[in-house]
Amino acid sequence: MPSWLERPPTNLGEKTHGKLKADTWRVLFTVFLPLILPELWHDASTPEGRSNMLLKNFHFLVYCTNIVCSYTVTSDMPELFTQNYHAYLITSKPLFSHAKPRPNHHYAMHNAEQLRFWGPLPQVSEFFGERQNGLLQGIKTNGILRTFHIFRPTLLL
């Protein structure tokens, strides 16, 4: 593993862990799960079995994620994104027939258009703002306003 990648938490999936940060999800999804899931899901006895269909579906989604998270964009990437995302949606229908499409599925279809217009999407993402929100949420504010000298306009009678 590259030293700059944060390893997933050891208690991943347990209630005590809490929520993962967006970057932890990205690393887990694009680095660790592609190494682990083929070992868990590959079933050589039935090439068109559910396990292999799940693996194909996951492959399409990771391919799209890697394109969207790339810091360089080539002219063929928007079309590759569209093809792979469409394949992801098509393979999702029989696997998850009980699940309804969500608005994010529709929004993701616009990523190819955004790649063409903006170029690399991480550079126009809201990650910095989200990180600042996370830092601000960690500040204890219970009763802290009393310590600040707040300008209070006086009423003139």
Cβ-proximal residues to 55 (8 Å cutoff; 6+ apart), any chain: 37, 38, 41, 42
Please tell me the predicted confidence (pLDDT) of residue 151. Answer: 52
Which of 93, 96, 43, 36 lies closest to 62 in space, CA to CA? Answer: 36
Q: pLDDT-derived band of residue 90, with 50, 70 and 90 as boundaries?
A: very high
What does the pLDDT read at residue 147?
A: 58
Better pLDDT: 134 or 102 = 102
Cβ neighbours for 73, distance < 8 A, ≥ 6 positions apart? 115, 119, 120
Length of the chain counted residue by residue: 157
Question: Which of residues 131 and 92 earns the better pLDDT score?
Answer: 92
Indicate whether 156 pLDDT > 60.
Answer: no
What ranges do the domains of the chain cover? Answer: 15-147
pLDDT, tens digit, 9 for 90 and up, residues 1-54: 778 888 888 888 888 877 887 778 888 888 888 988 888 887 767 667 888 899
Q: Which two tokens stand for residue 101?
A: 């499409």
